[in-house]
Amino acid sequence: MLDLFAGDEPWEEPLAGGATILRRFAREEAAALMMEIHGLAQQAPFRHMVTPGGHIMSVAMTNCGSVGWSTNQHGYLYSPRDAQTGQPWPQIPAAFRALSDRASLAAGYPNFEPDACLINRYAPGTKLSLHQDKDEPNLGQPIVSVSLGLPAVFQFGGLQRSDRLKRVMLEHGDVVVWGGASRLFYHGILPLKPGFHPLTDTFRYNLTFRKAS
């Protein structure tokens, strides 16, 4: 686990049983991460996926890894190929994997082996409704979520959608890791407020690492 530091150094903020926020954990490598994101988007462009109910997701999304998350008329699934291009998803860059390894270890999950990374791009006004990450076959593996760019309000609840929510501001470089007792907790992002960040312009980007196969 991380120690508590003052000033601009990273520190750990407990969120729930099995869940923690690693504040400012990814700031130093943020520029390199954004370069990787732009390169990945050249291979697998961002798109607004359509839910099984026909709703167009406001958040633009792409993937990297041996499998990628997507939707169709039947539900949510992981697939080794990008349905939009017909090509395999790009592999997870070494810089991504190194950050995920460091974060999962710092949060108490030393054996995390992600094979999928969802990349979300938020524009002002976009949100992510409350949901559970439950499409993965191995729920013993945690989720590692990296925030880049504009700040956003993260909602983190419980096992029921109606459970009381914690609302915390996630800023550039913050990493949230959750697993164990909180692995299936409902979570989401409130509508993004307008702003500007020198690295991401008017957007917020989020990397979500998962063990999906």
Output DSSP code: residue 163.
S
> Strands 128-131 and 116-122: what pairing?
unpaired
pTM for the predicted model, two decimal places: 0.94
pLDDT in tens, 114-125: 999 999 999 999
In whole angstroms, give the CA distance from residue 61 to residue 6.
35
pLDDT in tens, 6-38: 357 889 999 999 999 999 999 999 999 999 999
